[in-house]
Structure 1
Amino acid sequence: MTAADTAQEAQWKRWRAVADLYHAYFTGLILTVVTRRGTADAAEFVFRVFRRQQQERFLPGLRKLGIDHLPPAVAAAQYHYLSNWIGGVHVEYMYESDTKAWIRYPPPRWIWKGPAICGVPGEVSRAMLRGWHANNGVVLGDLRLGFVCTKQSVDGQDGLEGHYHQYDHPLEPDQRLVYARHLEAPLFDAKAAPALPVASWPKPRLEKAYRNYAMEYVRTAAPVMVQLFGPEDAGYLLHITGKLIGMQFFDEIAEPLAMRSGGASEFASFLGALFAAQDDAAETTQSEGTFEIRQQSWKLMDDVADYHGACTKLLEGMFEGLAAGCGRHIDVHLRPTTGRRAPLAWTVG
């Protein structure tokens, strides 16, 4: 392996560390709403996150994947198979006909990683289907397309599965998601499943897309939370989730970022490496044991039309938690900025 190959592998590990951190944050955010606001609010939150993601990503994603010419049921199912595969989510696809195509999310579920699945009410998982899967026909302009859910892993079944079905008549809103627990998906045949064209999806692009997949959920979730719960309550939820996840995950992501536990100096270096792995520019200066980090960009929120300053609470909480994981008595603060948009100024001491 050449030096260039080694450097590239190290870059990919840093990207995956960022993906793991944001993946955990998104899962944690849902659990925070479940435990602190209740199942109904958590379901509404998840519904809005996935509906917003669908409205922003579904049609452009179909074109990007080269499957926008397929019949609606097949296109919808292949989209979920391919786009989730890019993000490292285990999904299966089974074609039955041009009007019926299956998808299955086998265990372990990506979104409810590890023991988190034990804290997810069925209503919250169903909200994901209502937000995205049940609305694909509407977005495609074919009101005959619905989703039939046959299993839910949070209900103790062996995965989340169902099929897109194109009926012979338009569906009313309450008919676009139905349940048929007596049915079961056919077995998955990897050889018959669609594949990404290697030429347009080389390894470096896939690695960056893997990172971006997890980050996109947080990009969507933060402004949704502010709009749904208001800046004060949302800021608290974003902050406490970030702090808990940061404390839990510092050790896991420090090694890929070539960092170690220590004091303020080590943590300032860690933040610099984290910003770089997120493609954010940052400059660090030191003065009498205090480090100032000027975060020049926050690309995650750059083009969010309804961005609110309360969204920075996710970074404040996350950095506080990561600092606690790095070492005791490390203080990290965000200095007030106009509109709470980048550039953001952090002090570490």
Structure 2
Amino acid sequence: MTTAQNGSADQAKWLRWRSVADLYHAYFTGLILTVVTRRGTPDAAEFVFRVFRRQQQERFLPGLEKLGLSHLPPAVAAAQYHYLSNWIGGVSVEYMYESDRKAWIRYPPPRWIWKGTAICGVPGEVSRAMLRGWHANNGVSLGNPNLGFVCTKQSVDGQDGLEGYYCEYDHALETDQRLVFARHLEAPMFDPANAPALPVASWPKPRLEKAYRNYAMEYVRTAAPVLVQLFGPEDAGYLLHMTGKLIGMQFFDEVARGFGLGHGTAKDFAAFLRALLQAQDDDVDGDDDDSGHEIRQTTWRLMADVGDCHPACARVLEGLFEGLAAGCGRHIAVRMTPALGGAPPFVWSIG
């Protein structure tokens, strides 16, 4: 294969990865809205708090090491972590250094997590829960009880972005002091020339593209087991499935375009589903005959090594694939036959 052909194949693969990222990004945002509308604001806030606290505990310290930030002062390290990790995921974010003990971050509009019209359905309490879950806990993770986060704006409250600063105080903070609000303050202007940058040598294009895809998928990897643990498998399974079906129906056309695939028939959907699973790094095989198509998904890398993955988490896939099938064409049936315990292999029958 020529260099040009290799480059073209890479571009096609990366476009598929980005389409997968868009699908899972939409699913995560949709799941929060589903909980808001079906369970109410307090339950949605508790769900969001637990998702972001779990991610913070699992990813913050290893992320500092990967990004080469561990040597920095705590406030600066925390702010630069949010800047770089979100930048990798395609999130618009700004970083402004003020001192070794005070560093700002700002998420300008449009907000990644509340994409499009979704922002109109997000209560302020849910946005605050995200800050409580992650930003307020960075000092704890760093072993620095003096580090807190001061929020000066929230976009869901009608302000022009979410912003605030990490501050290292002269005294240890109580739990309710780790996140405070100062709406009378405003972040300084962002200067890209003074922002940190990833080392190009250790973050080449293929790694960045895969990290972009994984960034969105990680939210669903975290959210599904949290939802099951919080609301129980029956209620959580309903919420996971309903969200998947709605998002799949809405996003089939967009994802299929990124894959360069058509729509309308069960055969089209079988080809699409194989391509989607492969773009998620899952292994598949299967058969086609006159009566329909069967795809055997032998891995589910999204939930691999998740210690508290309940069988109800597979409702993510059931809902998504049913919705995507409906978006592909009318009367395309997709049915999942799970293995014992809700783990792969999953057999998908399409007809």
- How high is the TM-score relative to the length of structure 1? 0.99
Distance in 2 (CA, whole Å) between partners of 1:257 and 1:227 is 35
- Match for residue 75 of structure 1? 77
Please give the per-residue CA displacement for 1:137-184, whole angstroms capped at 9, x wherever unaligned. 000000000000000000000000000000000000000000000000
Q: CA deviation at 1:289?
A: 2.1
Q: Which residue of structure 1 aligns with residue 331 of structure 2?
A: 329
Q: Residue 201 of structure 2 aligns to a residue in which SS?
A: coil
Q: Distance in 2 between matches of 1:9 and 1:301?
A: 27
Shift of 1:3: 1.0
User: Are the equivalent residues in 1 in contact too, given 2:338–2:344 (CA < 8 A)?
Assistant: no
The structure 2 residue matched to 1:53, chosen from 55, 61, 70, is 55
Runs (5+) with no aligned partner, structure 2: none
Aligned twin of 2:191? 189
Q: Hey, what's the Cα distance between the residues in 1 that align with 2:89 and 2:155?
A: 20
User: Residue 295 of structure 2 contacts residue 347 of structure 2 at CA under 8 Å; is this kept in 1?
Assistant: yes
| 2:214 counterpart residue number | 212
Quick check: 1:236 aligned with 2:238? yes
**Is residue 31–residue 239 contact of structure 2 (8 Å, CA) maintained in 1?**
yes
**Deviation for aligned residue 1:287:** 3.1
In angstroms, what is the RMSD of aligned CA positions?
Answer: 0.7
Counterpart amino acid of 1:174?
Answer: D
Moved more, 279-288 or 66-75: 279-288
Structure 2 residue aligned with 1:103, among 78, 102, 105?
Answer: 105
| 1:55-81 deviation line (CA, Å, top 9, x unaligned) | 100000000000011000000000000
Q: Which residue of 1 aligns with 2:306?
A: 304
Check conservation: 2:124, 2:157, Cα contact below 8 A.
yes
Distance 1:139 1:287 in 2: 55
Gaps of 5+ in 1: none
Amino acid at match of 1:252: E
Match of 1:177 in 2: 179
Q: 1: distance between equivalents of 2:285 and 2:273?
A: 10
Q: Kindly indicate whether residue 13 of structure 2 is the aligned counterpart of residue 8 of structure 1.
A: no
Q: Name 1:317's counterpart in structure 2.
A: 319
Number of the residue aligned with 1:347: 349
In the TM superposition, what is the alpha-carbon distance from 1:288 to its structure 2 partner? 3.0
Matched AA of 2:38: R
Once the two structures are overlaid, the 10-residue window that deviates more, 328-337 or 304-313, is 328-337
* Match of residue 225, structure 1, among 224, 227, 237: 227
- In 2, Cα distance between equivalents of 1:83 and 1:335: 37
Partner in structure 2 of residue 255 of structure 1 = 257
Displacement after TM superposition at 1:336 (Å) = 3.5
What is the CA distance between 1:186 and its match in structure 2?
A: 0.3
Number of residue pairs the alignment of both structures matches: 349
Question: Does the Cα contact within 8 Å between 1:272 and 1:284 map onto a contact in 2?
Answer: no
After TM superposition, the runs of 4+ consecutive aligned structure 1 residues lying more than 4 A away are: none
1:275 deviates by 0.7
**Alignment correspondent of 1:275:** 277
Identical positions, percent: 76
